[in-house]
Amino acid sequence: MLEPLSPTSPLILGSGSPRRREILTRARVSFVVVVGDADERVLAGEPVAEYLARVVLAKLVAVRARAGERPGSAILVADTSVVERGDILGKPADEAEALAMLLRLSDRTHEVQTRFAVAEAWGSAPPLAAKTVVTRVTFRAITNEEARAYVASGEGRDKAGGYAVQGGAGPFVARVDGSYSNVVGLPEDEVVEALRSLALLPAAPATP
């Protein structure tokens, strides 16, 4: 049985992402970080839904192995993908790929899909809660000079799609339809709702 989250019984965040740490901190969730390695390469012809489900489960297995036996503790793992016309744009391998990604997203609408799962920190049971949240992001037209300057900054080097919406790429965004925090890396409202549904967090206060 899972114990409610507290400083003495924190959530295990299976991610080294500073953005995800910031989102959980803002949501006032007690957590510790335990990172496990998982193969995030996209298989040939793999649909985004299957890719996200596979990678999230692989992360869960890896984090469980690193965390050790922690009865009563919960794990949160997640993976975020940028999807343009059905293609998954992962982290760019080099500056040339980062530039190609930005120019591909220019003056178009793409999707940011994050799948997260909450599971017991011990054993091998499937997740207790899992969800994929989709946000549509529209970029304005980006000039070659703007794209090259952003790539040279290095900010998007380790980001899906080659950009960070909360950073220097913010001015490229013309419209966001859906969860903004999802584009940053974790859909805050949906994660909090999942934690509450498992009684890991107190229920939301009643609206007067």
Residue 79 annotated to the active site: yes
Options 79, 87, 107, 177, the catalytic residue:
79
Polymer length of the chain: 208
Instruction: Using only the alpha carbons of the chain, give its radius of gyration.
Output: 18
Residues 6+ apart with CB under 8 A from 147: 99, 102, 103, 106
Residues 6+ apart with CB under 8 A from 128: 2, 74, 118, 119, 120, 198
Place of tokens 């949240």: 133
Which residues does the annotation mark as catalytic?
79
